[in-house]
Structure 1
Amino acid sequence: MADPARHPRVVVAGLGDSGLLSAIHLARGRSRVPRLSPAGPPSIDVVGISAKPGLLSGQELGTRIARPDAWSRDYWIPFDRFRGLDRVRTVHGSLTGLDLDNRQVGIRLGDASVVSEPFDLLVISTGVRNGFWRQPTLQSATDIDADLLSTHRRLESTTTVAVIGGGAAAVSSAANIAAVWPAKNVHLYFPGDVALPQHHPRVWRRIRRRLDGLGVALHPHHRAVLPADGHIDRITDAPVTWTTSQDPVDADAVVWAIGAVRPNTEWLPPEILDERGFVRVGTDLRVVGHDDIFAVGDVAATDPLRNSARNRADRLVAHNVVATITGRPLKHYRPRSRRWGSVLGVQPDGLEVFAPDGRPFRLPAWSIDSVLQPWIVRRGIYRGVRDRS
């Protein structure tokens, strides 16, 4: 494996929600790896590679577009604020390739130059692209701030908004737009009898009552025809037509949240991907046929829902990387059969979170800024986040 004369290097390719936490756990896990000498440093070098200069979460789309300032406080955080990354070297660039024979990844930097980063073990966590809010483009902090503001202003200037899709992103978008701008006409179009089909039925029953109270018009059995140019990675304003034969719909803004995810795996060799382009992994999250490469998060084909990102497999993958280095047994991932967690995000009356069986529990509004974010999230999950300078 690693050259005994140097520290083994672990590269985390992608520092989104799963990759960031994996890197933090790996940095902490260095203490469990034997030192090269009694006086030497812990014997793992952790390198994280990201197209963004900080955590730009894919969570809580509705809050992101309706209340970007509040969303940014918790979901758009520069890497230098994470205390858990102090021992991680981060590289800001786009991944261009994986050389399996020479054990290195290619990275295109902001100046268009391409460099190589060698590894002894690799964690692939490059996620997926989805709509306008999850794209792998190389961005600066200024680019991200401008993008968040322009999306919000685009919606703010409208009278009628059509949200297309039946998953949590679509439902959250419709609910938060209606809550922030109650004078708007907000319509939610989804293909089935109900929305949120991957959640327990209890979840939709409860969320539907919330949408009714916000004045969101619900339109089941509507499956949209994609725009002629195929682009659903932006808010559009052209009429929406339907494969289900309803009359076309006009809206000032059309939010496409149809769940048409595509894995960010163009940089990877085809032999490690499944037929849809996701990374093939075993239950220990190792890439099939490669004991020194792991994958976690939405990019990993762990189960039909690819739920490892939502079930904290970041901790498991970090354990298994360290176990591989130290020769200890690996743990195995057990997926859940349903989506769970928050659907609408933080609302004026607090945060409602759903268990896998669909039962909700609520965190009151006062606890979000005084308990949840500072203690559970920033200190407990992220191991410390510095205040904004």
Structure 2
Amino acid sequence: MTAVRPRVAIVGGGFAGLWAARALASAPVEIVLVDRGNHHLFQPLLYQVATAGLSAPDIAAPLRHILRKQKNVEVRMATVIGIDAGAKRIALDDGDTLEFDYLLLASGATHAYFGNDQWARHAPGLKTLDDALDLRRKLLLAFERAEAATDPAERAAWLSFAIVGGGPTGVELAGTLAEIARHTLKDEFRRIDPASARVRLVEAGPRVLAAFPEDLSAQAKRQLEKLGVEVSLGTPVKDITSDGYVLGDAFVPAKTVVWAAGVAASPLGAMLGVPLDRAGRVQVRPDLGVPGHPDIFVAGDLASLMQANGRPVPGVAPAAKQMGRYVAQVIRARLLGGASPPPFAYKDYGNLATIGRMAAVVDLGRLRFSGLLAWWFWLVMHVFFLIGFRNRLVVLLNWWWAYWSYQRAARIILGDDGREPSASE
């Protein structure tokens, strides 16, 4: 293509895409950032929106606002529907096409139901703000339906909650939901006791938080059980319907099942016509480039790359940020004719997971701890990494209020079972 400055197209305004765009702020390039939404989402706190602790604007910010002072960036709200790698062109759902000199695909991941996609309508996942708002309505409505039910069996089904998947999202959801039932909703209903709600965390593997050391995993299980969560390990879910789920050979009546068990890469990777791994991620070169296409890069959850220790780079926010910055370094080096940076190497600064009020686990390598200190550490780190002073202040105030009052600030039920909620709430 002919252009005054090389064009860098970035697909995805998440951690990888946004950090790449920022790292190219002073580069002699024209950047077009394409995202189907208009905002950057701080996904680690998405479960807080789903459980009414925070509102959507507390953990998200408009991409145009974030990049307003970066003059070499244009933001396009659109969905990519086609990629012509040879012609260096992408097609958008608004009918437009976008030519590029360099392309970074950072479109993230979606839910994976391991071949049981029919479960999606009965067990929603949590990846976007729309998911969080829908789940928040579903969780709060369950207590309302239980209050209105006259049949004991129906009432018990409405008060039965299952979270499938014992990773950080599942653990955080289960612990917070138990707190809501036992503390937040106390004395607010007349026909039911919310504290009698059954919250079960179902993990097919032998332990929760499998990415953490075994001692912290055991600590997390104990902390969950102390909060009132029933932890089921070693048995996978066999089926999920609108009335419940099958665990082992037993059917468990439950009106609310949440999926936190697996992810699949964005379908954009398949448009490149290059090798993918079992999760649909692009198997990239050490410089995060796509084999056969040296000017196309993949970062974040869509990239599959093995580390020197034989383990894949994890699909976490710090890895996505590092990948985004690295791709920007590679592009800068090519533009300036300098030496290429060494192969990408993920720097693991540790893992954090919160279980509930004053309960968390922290793995910083040689330093591991849990309980209250870990909880405070988790709070500080998440506030620090939020984008924007306003978001940090609002989240701090909401958490301070929730700590002292057990109340959650965003417990307004919007819409109904057949209508999507407003994205502004």
Q: Equivalents in 2 of 1:192, 1:363: separation in Å? A: 24
Are the counterparts in 2 of residues 202 and 358 from structure 1 also a CA contact under 8 Å?
no
Which residue in 2 is equivalent to 1:81? 65
Is 1:132 paired with 2:125?
yes
SS of aligned partner of 1:15: coil
SS in 1 for 2:135: helix
1:31-46 mapped onto 2 (5 Å cutoff): 43-46=28-31
Does the C-alpha gap of structure 1 residues 266 and 298 become closer, same or farther in structure 2, counting only changes over 3 Å? Answer: closer
SS of equivalent residue, structure 2 residue 330: helix
* 2:87 maps to which of 102, 123, 127: 102
CA positional deviation for 1:206:
2.3
One-letter amino acid of the structure 1 residue matched with residue 318 of structure 2:
R
Task: Find the aligned partners of 2:361 and 2:209 in 1 and give their Cα distance.
Answer: 15
Percent identity of paired positions between Structure 1 and Structure 2: 23
CA distance in 2 between partners of 1:173 and 1:166 (Å)? 10
Q: CA separation of 1:58/1:372 partners in 2, compared to 1, >3 Å: closer, same or farther?
A: closer
Partner of 1:240: 245
Task: Give the structure 2 partner of residue 298 of structure 1.
Answer: 301
1:301-380 paired onto structure 2 within 5 Å: 301-303=304-306, 305-307=312-314, 309-311=317-319, 312-328=322-338, 329-335=340-346, 340-344=350-354, 348-349=357-358, 353-356=362-365, 359-360=368-369, 362=373, 373=383, 377-378=386-387
- CA shift in 2, pair 1:342/1:180, >3 Å: farther
Judged with a 3 Å threshold, the aligned counterparts in structure 2 of structure 1 residues 56 and 372 are, in CA distance, closer, same or farther, namely closer
Conserved 8 A contact 1:237-1:250: no
- 1:167-186 equivalent positions in 2, closer than 5 A: 167-182=167-182, 183=195, 184-186=197-199
Structure 2 equivalent of residue 217 of structure 1:
230
TM-score normalised to structure 2 length = 0.70
SS at match of 1:90: strand
Q: Given the alignment of the two structures, is residue 13 of structure 1 paired with residue 19 of structure 2, yes or no?
A: no
Equivalent residues, number: 339
How far off its partner does 1:343 sit? 1.8
Matches within 5 A, 1:280-299: 280-299=283-302
TM-superposed deviation, 1:118: 0.8
- Relative to the length of structure 1, the TM-score reads 0.76
What stretches of structure 1 of length at least 5 have no aligned partner?
A: 31-42, 136-143, 228-235, 383-387
- In 2, the alpha carbon distance for the partners of 1:73 and 1:350 equals 26
Q: Distance in 2 between matches of 1:50 and 1:266?
A: 15
Q: Kindly indicate whether the alpha-carbon contact (under 8 Å) linking 1:350 and 1:368 is maintained by their aligned counterparts in 2.
A: no
Q: By percentage of residues, which structure has more helix?
A: 2
The residue type equivalent to 2:19 in the other structure is L
1:22 Cα deviation (Å)? Answer: 1.8
**Deviation string for 1:229-261 (max 9, x for gaps)?**
xxxxxxx6422113xx34111112011111142
Determine the structure 1 residue equivalent to 2:101: 120
Q: Distance in 1 between matches of 2:305 and 2:350?
A: 17
Call closer, same or farther: CA 1:332–1:66 in 2, change over 3 Å.
same
Q: 1:64 matched to which residue of 2?
A: 49
Give the 3 Å change call, closer, same or farther, for CA 340–351 of structure 1 in structure 2: same
Superposition CA RMSD, Å: 3.2
**Contact between 1:342 and 1:354, CA under 8 Å: does it hold in 2?**
yes
- CA contact 2:104–2:297 (8 Å) conserved in 1: yes
Name the amino acid aligned to 1:175: G
Between the aligned partners of 2:359 and 2:250, the Cα distance in structure 1 is 38
With over 3 angstroms needed to count, the CA separation of the structure-2 counterparts of 1:353 and 1:26, relative to structure 1, is farther
* Deviation of the 1:18 alpha carbon: 1.9
